[in-house]
């Protein structure tokens, strides 16, 4: 019986450590990556706009998915860039390709996120200005 209790403690410890590693990675990226800082600032501004305009629950869910996806994708891009930089300090066409494709994925999602923001907030802003 004691063994089962010990196993649960070990699993709980592993889970807590995995969360600590994840938060450490986010912290490191936010402190060191300018693009991620920009995404966080824009996310904060969008959140303020959502509160100000009192957007619906559905609009909040869409906005939160856009924000979460954008931040997650930027974190993945940062991880890919770090791994590529670790693998080679020299120029290599495949290293450039991996970095460019990851950056392209972020750009595509950013464009879609801006369109989502426009669809949700542009009517609100125009109505407010009238």
**Annotated binding-site residue numbers:** 14, 33, 74, 81, 90-92, 99-100
Please state the domain count of the chain.
2
- pLDDT of 3 above 70: no
The HSE-up count of residue 83 (CA atoms within 13 Å, CB side) is 10
The fraction of the chain above a pLDDT of 70, given in percent, is: 97
Do 65 and 13 lie in one domain? The reply is no
- pLDDT of 1 above 70: no
Q: Which residues are catalytic?
A: 74
- Residue 11 domain boundaries: 1-32
Question: Could you tell me the pTM of the whole model?
Answer: 0.86
pLDDT at 11: 81
Do 91 and 110 lie in one domain? The reply is yes
């Amino acid at each position: 019986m004691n063994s089962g209790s010990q196993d649960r403690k070990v699993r709980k410890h592993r889970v807590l450590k995995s969360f600590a590693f994840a938060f450490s990675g986010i912290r490191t990226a936010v402190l060191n990556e300018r693009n991620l800082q920009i995404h966080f600032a824009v996310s904060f501004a969008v959140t303020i706009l959502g509160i100000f305009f009192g957007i619906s629950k559905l609009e909040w869910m869409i906005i939160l998915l856009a924000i979460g996806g954008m931040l997650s994708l930027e974190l993945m891009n940062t991880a890919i860039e770090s791994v590529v930089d670790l693998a080679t300090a020299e120029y290599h066409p495949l290293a450039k390709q991996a970095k460019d494709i990851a950056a392209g994925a972020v750009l595509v999602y950013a464009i879609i996120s801006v369109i989502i923001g426009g669809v949700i907030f542009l009517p609100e802003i125009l109505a407010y200005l009238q």
